[in-house]
Structure 1
Amino acid sequence: MKKRLFVTGLSGFVGRHLKSRLNGHDSTWQVMPVAARYDLTDAKTLEGLWPELPDAVIHLAGQTFVPEAFRDPARTLHINLMGTLNLLQALKARGFTGTFLYVSSGDVYGQVSDDGFPITEQQPPAPCNPYAVSKLSAELLSLQWGISEGWPVVVARPFNHIGTGQKEHFVIASAARQICRIQQGLQTPQLSVGDIDVTRDFLDVDDVVSAYLALLEKGTPGRIYNICSGREQSVRSLIELLADIAQIEIQLTQDLARLRTVSQRRVCGSHARLHQITGWKPETTTQQSLRSILSDWEIRVRQE
């Protein structure tokens, strides 16, 4: 018999990939249907949400866009911290005692000096934006809940992930959309970009989903795990690779509106702990990811 898995944020970028994975594969998990519409910031909507008790929960839902967190930090904290508290309290009231996987972010590490790479879980968090503060706060809350309630709580810190279905305000999705618009004659061969001479640790969303499922099965309660590729790649190199795959010439122009406040210049994480405990490792190449993203945007641009 399959175990029941409740996932918040199932309609989001990662949630849709997770649902597709579990629906399309022989899995030990069955995603629970949502009994009613709910809002994590409104505790009353969570009452009676689970006719059957979940065996595990993956908490994906949240406000994930850093510029939005700077625009409205109170709302970001309300969604990401208080929303998590409301979820934990509602699960406790229902009698939940299963595994709770809190999805945080590699962004909690903040500014890391060059001698701190690759970033391990031993790196002290130093969040540089309200989004990262909200995620670190909810991490601590979830781990405290695990101690107080005796639940197996595991924290995941995913780094940058890319893939099909991502919203266009994320850098690689934005570049892919613009390249497809150029291909279809909808804009001149100029790409509007932010600061692309930074490096990030990019991981395909399907590998991220695999990591979450591996942590549900084998993650050690009370521990934190980086989810990352372990490779440092510049944003510029990925955009140039997208253009090469699409076989078009592009000119890059910097848009000041796309520049972020306080940006870490380099990012590269270590997934050694995750690999050691679960055996997980990345399976999707950057080329495979970018080809899928372009194919996805080709369709989406036609439908705009």
Structure 2
Amino acid sequence: MKKRLFVTGLSGFVGQHIQSRLRADASGWELLPVAERYDLSQPQSLDGLWPELPDAVIHLAGQTFVPEAFRDPANTFNINLLGTLNLLQALKARGFNGTFLYVSSGDVYGQVGEPELPITELQPPCPRNPYAVSKLSAEFLSLQWGLSEGWSVLVARPFNHIGAGQKDSFVIASAARQICRIKQGLQAPQLEVGDIDVTRDFLDVGDVVSAYLALLEKGAPGQAYNICSGREQSIRSLIEQMGDLAQVDVQLVQDPARLRRADQRRVCGSHTKLAQATGWTPGITTQQSLRAILSDWEKRVNEE
């Protein structure tokens, strides 16, 4: 008999991939339907949300865009921290006693010196923006709840993830959209970019979903786990690879509006702890990811 899984943020980028994975997969999880629309920042909207009690919860929903967190930190905290509290309280009131996976972010580590790379879970968090502070706060809240209530609570810290369906406010999705527009003659062969000579640890969203499901099965309660590829790649190299795949010659033009102050020039995480606990390893190559992203944007640009 399948175990019941409730996921917040199902309509988002990762949530949609979880839905399609569980539809296509003979995994041991059955996705609980959401009875009605709810808003984690409105506790009363959570009443009656679970006709059946879930065996596990993946808490994905949140405000994820760093510039927006600087613009409106109070709203970011309301969604990411107080929204998590409202969810935990509603689950407790309903009698939940299962596994709760809080999806945090590799951004909680803040600026990490190059000698400390790759980043392991032993690296002390030092968040440098309101988004990361809100995620770390909600990590502590979730873990405290596990201790107080006797639930199995785990924390996932995903690094940058890419894949089909991502909003073009994120750098690789933005570049893919522009490349598809150039290919279709909708814009000049110039790609507007920010600072693309930084490196990041990119992981395909399909591998991220596999990691979440692996943690539900085999992760240790009370622990945080990095979810990352274990290798760094420059944003420039990914954009150039997409240009080659699409057979489009593009000139990269720096747009001052897209420049964020990147204190962290290099990011690379270690997924050793996750691999040792669950046996998970990344299975999707960068080329496979980029092809899927371009194919997705080709369709989306046609529909614009």
TM-score, normalised relative to structure 1: 0.99
CA distance in 1 between counterparts of 2:273 and 2:267 reads: 18
Q: CA deviation at 1:263?
A: 3.7
Aligned to 1:112: 112
Aligned to 1:78: 78
Aligned to 1:282: 282
Alignment of 1:95-134 (within 5 A): 95-134=95-134
CA distance in 1 between counterparts of 2:11 and 2:184 reads: 29
Say yes or no: does 1:90 pair with 2:90: yes
Aligned to 1:230: 230
Deviation readout 1:32-78 (Å, 9 max, x if unpaired): 00011100000000011101100000000000011111111111111
| % identical equivalent positions | 77
Structure 2: gaps spanning 5 or more residues:
none
**Secondary structure, in 3 states, of the residue corresponding to 2:196?**
coil
CA distance in 2 between counterparts of 1:73 and 1:259 reads: 20
CA distance in 2 between counterparts of 1:301 and 1:141 reads: 41
Say yes or no: does 1:67 pair with 2:67: yes
**Secondary structure, in 3 states, of the residue corresponding to 1:4?**
strand
CA distance in 2 between counterparts of 1:143 and 1:255 reads: 41
Q: CA deviation at 1:262?
A: 4.8
CA distance in 2 between counterparts of 1:173 and 1:231 reads: 20
Deviates more, 1:251-260 or 1:274-283: 251-260
Conserved? CA contact 1:128–1:262, under 8 Å:
no
CA distance in 1 between counterparts of 2:295 and 2:191 reads: 18
Aligned to 2:303: 303
CA distance in 2 between counterparts of 1:87 and 1:234 reads: 37
CA distance in 1 between counterparts of 2:132 and 2:261 reads: 13
Aligned to 1:196: 196
Count of residues paired in the alignment: 304
Alignment of 1:250-261 (within 5 A): 250-261=250-261
Aligned to 2:58: 58
Measured on the aligned residues, the alpha-carbon RMSD in Å equals: 0.6
Aligned to 1:247: 247
CA distance in 2 between counterparts of 1:227 and 1:60 reads: 14
Q: CA deviation at 1:247?
A: 0.9
Q: Which amino acid aligns with 1:66?
A: V
Q: Which amino acid aligns with 2:149?
A: E
CA distance in 2 between counterparts of 1:180 and 1:92 reads: 47
Q: Which amino acid aligns with 2:232?
A: E
CA distance in 2 between counterparts of 1:189 and 1:228 reads: 32
CA distance in 2 between counterparts of 1:45 and 1:264 reads: 39
CA distance in 2 between counterparts of 1:147 and 1:181 reads: 51
Q: CA deviation at 1:149?
A: 0.4
CA distance in 2 between counterparts of 1:153 and 1:84 reads: 13
Structure 1: gaps spanning 5 or more residues:
none
Alignment of 1:135-284 (within 5 A): 135-284=135-284
Conserved? CA contact 1:120–1:269, under 8 Å:
yes
CA distance in 2 between counterparts of 1:223 and 1:138 reads: 14
